């Protein structure tokens, strides 16, 4: 499954109380938890640089390549069950 540039989702962990506080805040302000986190992180780190984007693209391409290899792994001799009939 190919993803659009910059849309890859990873996960981060926060304490339950922090998650609940964010959830209440974004519900009151009509926002999403994801957008809230992106906004706060951008305020602290600034926008991604061209070098950041290049690193992301390279790592995303490597991840997709590895995923495709894993999907093919062991499937070379696979025969769909319908072909037995």
Interval 31-50: pLDDT, tens: 999 999 999 999 999 988 88
- Is residue 56 assigned to a domain? yes
Q: Which residue has the higher pLDDT, 71 or 30?
A: 30
Residue 7 resides in a domain: no
38 contacts 49 by C-beta, under 8 angstroms? no
Domain range enclosing 66: 16-75
Radius of gyration of the chain (CA): 20
The arithmetic mean of pLDDT across residues 16-37, rounded, is 95
In 1-85, alpha helices (H): 16-29, 33-45, 50-72
Residue 83: inside a domain: no
Q: Which residues of 16-49 are buried (b: 16+ CB within 10 A; e: fewer)?
A: eeeeeebeeebeeeeeeeeeeeeeeeeeeeeeee
Is the pLDDT at 3 greater than 50, yes or no?
no
In a domain, residue 1? The reply is no
According to the model, what pLDDT value does residue 63 have?
78
Please state, in angstroms and rounded to a whole number, the distance separating the CA atoms of residues 77 and 74: 7
């Amino acid at each position: 499954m190919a993803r659009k540039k910059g849309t890859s989702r990873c996960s981060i962990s926060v304490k339950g109380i922090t998650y609940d506080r964010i959830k209440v805040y974004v519900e009151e302000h009509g926002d999403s938890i994801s957008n809230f986190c992106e906004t706060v992180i951008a305020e602290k780190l600034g926008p991604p640089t061209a070098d950041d984007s290049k690193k992301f693209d390279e790592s995303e391409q490597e991840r997709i390549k590895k995923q495709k290899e894993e999907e093919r792994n062991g499937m070379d001799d696979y025969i769909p069950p319908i072909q037995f009939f």
